[in-house]
Amino acid sequence: MKGLFPIISVLAGLAVVPLVAHSNVTLNFLVVALMIALAGQGWNILGGYGGQYSFGHAAFFGTGAYVTAILQMRYGVNAWIAFACGIAASAALGAFLGALTFRSGLRGSYFALVTLAFAEVLRIIASVAPITGAGVGTLLKLDLGVRTLQFQSRAVFYWIILALVGISLVATRLIERSRFGVWLIAVRENEDAAKALGVNANGVKMAAMLISAAMTATAGCFYAQYFLFVDSGIAYGTWISIQALLTPIIGGVGTVFGPLLGALVVKLLGECAKLLAGDAPGLDLIIYGGVLVLVIWFVPRGLIGGLLHLHSLILRRSGPAAPPMEEARHG
Amino acid sequence: MLSSTILVPAILNGLLIGAIYALVALGLTLIYGVLHIINFAHGALLSAALFAAFFAYRLLGLDPYLAVFLLAPAFFAIGYALQRFIIGPASHGDDRNMLLVTLGISVVIENVLLYAFRADTRTIDMPYAFRTIDVGVTFLAVPRVVGFIAAFAVTLALWFVMTFTDTGRAIRAVAKEKLGAQLAGIDVAHVYAVTFGLGTACVAIAACLLIPSYYVNPSVGDAFVLVAFTIVVLGGMGSVPGALIGALLIGVAESLSGLFLGESLGQIGIFLIFIFVLLVRPSGLFGART
C-alpha cells in the first residue's frame, strides 16, 4: 500500500492541529475548508477523473443537507441515520440524473447545462415547498450529544470532517489504482475510443456519478450538523456548485490531493478578501470567479500539475550536472 | 369556463414576451452555432445590460428605446473583448475550459453587480409603460408590442448580415469548418470574437426592450437564461429560425401555464419541457447538429 503513505502522513499532520491551535476561528476555518475539500473531491471523481463537468453539484450537497435536517426535525429520526439517509438520497438523485443524461448521450455543454438547471430548479422548489421550510429554511434544534451528532467542541467536528476527508482521499486513491479508475480516465480522454475497446462507458459514468454524488452529499450532511441551519440559498446556491468545481481545478484536476489543496487556497483567498474589503455580499464569489478564470488561463493543470511541471523544469535546468540517466528520464 | 376572452389574450401576450425571449436565445444560439459551446455568462450579461439601460435613463435621462443605439454597440465591444482577450486566450482551445471560463465570468459579473448595487430590485417609470393598444379582442401593453416588432426587426437584420455580408459568410464558414476557413485566410479568433460580440449585442437590445416594463436586480438574468437555454435546446442548438419559433412556443407555454397553474410554477413547467426535450430529442426541433 505504497500509495496510501502520503495520505496517512497528511492526515496525521492535520489531525494534531486542534492540539496545537485552540483558537475557534482557526478551527472553524479549517472545518469549512475540509468540508469544501470533501465536496470538491466528489466533483473530482466525476469531473476530474471522468471528464464530465458538472456545474450543479449543489444539487447533491443541498439534498444531503436538507434530507439530514428534515428527517431529524420533522420525523424525529436519529441523527446518524438521518446523516446516512442524506447520503443515500443524494446518491439516488445522482442515479436519476445520470440515467437521464448519460443514457440520452448528453456530454460537454449539454451535461453542464442540465446539471446547472437541475440545481437551479431544486433551489426554486426548496424556496417554495412547505417541507423545506420554504423561504425561512430549516433550523435544527440544539441538542448536544453523540446520539444527536452535535458537539460543543469544534475539535470534535474537526476530527469528524477530517476522518470523512480521509475516507474520500483513500477512496479516490483506490479508484485511481483500480480497473474502474482506468476505465473512467479512458472515458474522459476519448469516450468513443473507450467504447470501441469494450468499456461500458455509460456504466462507468453512472458509477462515477453515484460515488461523486455520495461524497458531495456527505459534505452537505456535515454542513447541516455543523451549522444546524439549512435554507435554499445555502443548500442549492451557486456558491457551493462553484466551490465544488473550483477546488479541484485550483489544486489539480484528477489528482488525489487536488481538492484538499485547492480548498485550503480557496478559503484562504476568501479570508484575505474579507480582511481587505470587509464582509460584503458577493465579494467572495467575485474572487472565486476571477480565480477560476486565472487558474485555467495560467495554471491549467492546477497547483499540483504546476508544481510537477516546475519540478521537471528545474531538473532539466540542472541537467548537465545530473547523471546521464536522470537527464534521459526527464529530458 | 375557458372562453376565448381569456385564452386569446393569454396567447397573444405569450407571443409578445416570446419575442423578447427570442432575442436572448438568438445570442445564445449564435454563439453555440459558431463556437460550439454554451455561453454561461449570457444571463449575467443580460443583468449587466439591464443595469446599463436603467442607469442610462436615471443618470443621463436617456429613453431606453434610444439607449439601444448606444448600448448595442457598447455591448458588442464588450462581448468582442471578452472573447478575444479573455475567453479565447484563457481556454487554450479546449471546450471544457471554455465552459468553465464563461462560468467564471458569469459569477464575476453577477457578483460585481451584487456588490455594487446590492440585491435591491429597481424599476423605471416610463410614461408609455402602462399605455395599451386596443386590438379588438384585448388590450396589449405598448412596451410589449414595441418589443415584439423590434425583436423581429433585429432577427431580420441578423439574418441579413449572416446571409449577405462578408462577415456573415466568414462566420458561417468558421461554424461549418474551422480549419478550412483558416486555410482560406479567415481570422478565426476575430470571427469568434465578432460572433460573441453579436450575441452580446442581442442581449443589450433585449435589455433595452425589457426595461420599460420589467425590473432589474443582479440575478434577474438567470431566470431569462434558463428560459433561453430551454428555447435553444427546443429549437435546436445553433439554429436561428429554431430559436425564434422555440421562443414563441415557450412564451405561449409559459403564459398558458401561468394561467392554469399560477405564477411560481411557470418556471418549473419550463424546466420540465427542457428535460423532456433533452431526453426525447436533444437535437431539437430544427437540430443543426446532434
Write out the DSSP string of A13-47.
HHHTHHHH---HHHHHHHHHHHHHHHHHHHHIIII
Distance CA A3, CA B170 (A): 53
For the domain A2-281, what is the CATH code?
1.10.3470
pLDDT at A313: 85
Mean pLDDT over A270-286 rounds to 81
B169 with B47: CB under 8 angstroms? Answer: no
Nearest to A120 by CA among B210, B37, B54, B230: B230
| Residue among B97, B111, B117 with most chain A CBs within 10 A, to mutate | B111
pLDDT at A124: 84
Range of the domain at B8: 4-280
The answer to the question of residue B290 being in a domain is: no
Pairing of strands A138-139, A229-230: antiparallel
Distance CA B123, CA B109 (A): 20
How many percent of chain A have pLDDT more than 70? 95
**Grid cell for residue B175:** 461554424
Q: What is the mean pLDDT of each run of 10 residues along chain B (290 residues)?
A: 74 88 90 86 93 92 90 96 93 86 92 89 81 79 88 89 91 90 91 94 93 86 82 82 88 82 69 76 61
> pLDDT tens across A194-206, in order?
999 989 999 999 9
pLDDT at A2: 64
Chain B residue whose CA is closest to A278: B115
pLDDT at B94: 84
| Residue among A113, A120, A287 with most chain B CBs within 10 A, to mutate | A113
Distance CA B226, CA A121 (A): 10
The answer for residues whose C-beta is within 8 angstroms of residue B280's C-beta and 6 or more apart is: none
pLDDT at B226: 78
The answer to the question of residue B59 being in a domain is: yes
**B261 contact A CB<8A:** no
Write out the DSSP string of A303-331.
HHHHHHHHHHHHHHHTGGGS-HHHHHHH-
pLDDT at A330: 40
pTM of model > 0.90: no
pLDDT reading at A281 higher than 70: yes
pLDDT at A323: 46
Q: What are the residue boundaries of the structural domains of chain A, listed by start?
A: 2-281
Chain B positions touching A280 (Cβ under 8 A) are 115
> pLDDT tens across A3-34, in order?
788 898 999 888 888 888 878 888 999 999 99
pLDDT reading at A310 higher than 50: yes
**Grid cell for residue B218:** 443582479
Nearest to A304 by CA among A61, A12, A10, A76: A10
- ipTM of this predicted structure: 0.87
**Grid cell for residue A328:** 534521459
**B275 contact A CB<8A:** yes
pLDDT reading at A329 higher than 50: no
> pLDDT tens across B30-87, in order?
998 888 888 889 999 999 999 999 999 989 888 989 999 999 999 999 999 999 999 9
The answer to the question of residue B286 being in a domain is: no
Chain B positions touching A48 (Cβ under 8 A) are none
What confidence category does residue A319 fall into, taking pLDDT thresholds of 50, 70 and 90?
low
The answer for residues whose C-beta is within 8 angstroms of residue A181's C-beta and 6 or more apart is: A49, A175
Closest partner residue to A296 (CB to CB) among B90, B113, B233 is B90
A302 with A249: CB under 8 angstroms? Answer: yes
> pLDDT tens across A109-156, in order?
888 888 988 898 898 888 888 888 877 888 888 888 888 888 888 889
B221 with B214: CB under 8 angstroms? Answer: no
More confident residue, A314 or A135: A314
**Grid cell for residue A145:** 450529544
Closest partner residue to A292 (CB to CB) among B92, B104, B275 is B104
pLDDT at B287: 58
The answer to the question of residue B119 being in a domain is: yes
Domain count, chain B: 1
CATH at B195: 1.10.3470
pLDDT reading at A164 higher than 90: yes
Nearest to A132 by CA among A87, A68, A61: A68
The answer to the question of residue B207 being in a domain is: yes
Write out the DSSP string of B26-37.
HHHHHHHHHH-S
Write out the DSSP string of A243-254.
HHHHHHHHH-TT
The answer to the question of residue B112 being in a domain is: yes
**B104 contact A CB<8A:** yes
> pLDDT tens across A169-216, in order?
999 999 999 999 999 999 999 999 999 998 999 999 999 999 999 999
> pLDDT tens across A143-157, in order?
888 888 888 888 899
